[in-house]
Amino acid sequence: MSTHLIEVIITNKKGVRDPEGETIHKHLILRRGYSMVSRVRTGKYLLLEVNAENAEEAVKIVKELCEKLRIYNPVVHDIELRVHA
């Protein structure tokens, strides 16, 4: 057993709007002249410290708990799980 740091990134699915990102983009970034930025998407970030045999198992546990505890809504959100280096 060892400790693994697992990152969870939750964003709205590609086809689903993200008004918060749009607002930051339009009302802040573009207004201040950063016209090279063409899109902003926001999301939620979680960092979990997990005790598990190995990193794959830690990811599996986190994936399951995110689904079971409804930390994200699979209908609306994409979820990305990463092992923190």
Partner 1 sequence: MPLTNEEIDEIRKILGREPTVEELAMFEAQWSEHCSYKSSRILLKLLPTDGKHVLVGPGKDAPAVKIFRDYAIVFKIESHNHPSAVDPYDGAATGVGGIVRDILSLGAKPIALLDMLYMGDPRDPHANWLIRGIVKGISDYGNRIGIPTVAGDTWFDSSFNTQPLVNVACVGVANIDDLVLGAPKPGDLIIIAGNATGRDGILGSSFASKPLSEDRDKDIGAVQVGDPLTEKLLIDALQFLVSKKLVRYIKDLGGGGLTTAISETAADHGLGAVVHLEKLHTREKLSPLELLVSESQERMLIVVDPSNSRTVEEILKRFDLQYSIIGYFTDDGIIRVYFNGNKVAEVPAKELARPRPIRRASTPPQDALKGLKPIFVLPPEPKYEEAILKLLASPNIASKRWIYQQYDHEVGIRTVVKPGYGDAAVLRLLDGSRRGVAVKGDANPRYTSLDPFNGAANSVGECFRNLVAVGSKPIAIVDELNAGNPEKPEQFWYFEMMLKGVAWMAEELRLPVVGGKVSFYNEDHMGRQVKPTTTIVGVGRVDDISKAMTVEFKEHGSAIAIIGVTYPELGGSEYLYRLFGIEEGEIPRPRPVSEIRNARLIQKAIRLGLVNAVHDIGVGGLIASLAEMAIMGRLGFSIDVANIYARGVQRIDELLFSETQARYVVEVRGDRVDEFTKLARSMNVRFSIIGRVVDSNRIVITSNSKTVVEIDLDRVADVYNNSLEVELEGEA
Residue ranges binding partner 1 (CB under 8 A): 12-13, 15-19, 22-23, 70, 73-76
Q: Residue 74 or 82: which CB sits closer to partner 1?
A: 74
Question: Please, what is the minimum distance in Å from the beta carbon of residue 37 to partner 1?
Answer: 16
* Residue 65 DSSP class: H
Rounded to whole angstroms, the Cα distance separating 6 from 80 reads 10
Q: Residue 5 or 29: which CB sits closer to partner 1?
A: 29
Region label for 24, one of left (φ > 0), alpha (ψ between -120 and 50) or beta (otherwise) = alpha
Q: Residue 71 or 81: which CB sits closer to partner 1?
A: 71
Rounded to whole angstroms, the Cα distance separating 59 from 80 reads 10
Question: Please, what is the minimum distance in Å from the beta carbon of residue 56 to partner 1?
Answer: 25
